[in-house]
Amino acid sequence: MIGRLNHVAIAVPDIQAATAVYREQLGAAVSEAVEQPDHGVTTVFVELPNTKIELLEPLGEDSPIANYLAKNPVGGIHHICYEVPDIRAARDTLVAAGARVLGDGEPKIGAHGKPVLFLHPKDFCGTLTELEEA
């Protein structure tokens, strides 16, 4: 069902400082910061030859990333994202197998302009998992 690893998301308290680490210290190609108000975050993508790193900074006090950073003030890996060919078919298969989809269960448009869903971490080895339609 799952395809390639689309990205690993890292929550950060300061996206500009994190961007500088990847650009200046690691020599990576880094996108501009983009606010994602529907998801309560600002994102930056670090392009790698085989995948991406998504840096996430809270956008407002109600951001789900704000809660994560309250528990992990220096940041850390927040979630991983896999590509699937058909997000609704993947959701239906996973739900039938007992997995829990977060939110209302309907795909939302993610940072890449494609439908995404998040799966409960307790159902996936303690890891918040995002599915993105390829």
The catalytic residues are 130
Q: Identify the CA nearest to 58 among candidates 42, 81, 34.
A: 42
Q: Where are the beta strands (DSSP E) in 34-107?
A: 34-36, 41-47, 52-58, 76-84
Q: Identify the CA nearest to 89 among candidates 73, 74, 107.
A: 107
Tokens linked to 15: 């996206």
